[in-house]
Amino acid sequence: MKKSIVILFFLLAQITLAQAAFSTSESQRFQTKINAEYADAATSPLLAEDLKDFQRLAFYSIDEKFIVTAKLIRSKGEKPFDMNTSTARTPKYIKYGTLYFSIDEQNLKLSIYQNIELSKKPGYEEHLFLPFSDLTSGKESYIGGKYIDLKIPKDDTIVIDFNQSCNPYCAYNSKYSCPIVPLENDLNVAIEAGVKKFHN
C-alpha cells in the first residue's frame, strides 16, 4: 500500500509538470470576478461600513506553484454526515473522495465533499466543496481556513488552483453560517495563495 502511494505521487508530479492547459490567467479572472462581486451591494457579504470604503480584497501574488493536478480517489460506502458550522446549522455533506497532490516535493492530501441539498439544485449537480486550513491560517490568512469550489471531473484527476481559494463569508460578516474546516483538511504547510484575511 505504501509503495502504491509513493508511485501515485510520482505520477502526479509528472502530470503537474505537463498541465500547460491550466494557466494563471484563470487565477487572475477569479480575482477580478470576486472583487466585482464584493464591490456590488447586491452580491457583497461585506458589512455596510466595510463596503463603503471597499476597493479590492488583499491577495497573495499569483503563483503557478499553487496550481496542482491532484489524483482523485473516489470514496466508497461513505454515509452523509452533519458538517459543523459557525452557527447551530448542520448541513448534510458526504465525503466524495480524497485528493492526492504535491507542493514543493511534499506529498499532501485533502478530503473533498459534496453538499447533499445543494447537489439537488439545477446547476450544482457536479459541485464539490474543498475546505482547508494551513500554516498561514490565523496569520496572513483567515483563522478559519479557506474554501475552493470545484466540479466533479470526468476522469480521476482534478486541478486545484489555490490562487482561487477564498474566505468564508463569515470572515466578513457574522450573520453568515459557514462550514468549519474538518481537522483532516488541516495542512502542515503554508499555502501562500488566494485571499488574505480581511482585517489585519
Per domain, the residue ranges of the chain are 2-185
pTM attached to this predicted model? 0.88
Q: Is the pLDDT of residue 15 over 90?
A: no
Percent of all residues in the chain with a pLDDT value above 70, rounded to a whole number:
88
> Cβ neighbours of residue 29 under 8 Å, at least 6 residues apart?
none
Do residues 78 and 95 touch, judged by C-beta distance below 8 A?
yes
pLDDT tens, residue by residue, 84-128: 999 999 999 999 999 999 999 999 999 999 999 999 999 999 999
CA distances to 16, 109, 146, 176, 179 from 87, rounded to whole Å, are 38, 27, 17, 8, 9
- Cell numbers for 56, please give them: 479590492
Model pLDDT, residue 4: 55
Give which of 73, 74, 130 is closest to 100, Cα–Cα.
73
Do residues 18 and 28 touch, judged by C-beta distance below 8 A?
no
User: What is the Cα Rg of the chain in Å?
Assistant: 17
Percent of all residues in the chain with a pLDDT value above 90, rounded to a whole number:
86
Mean pLDDT estimate for the chain: 91
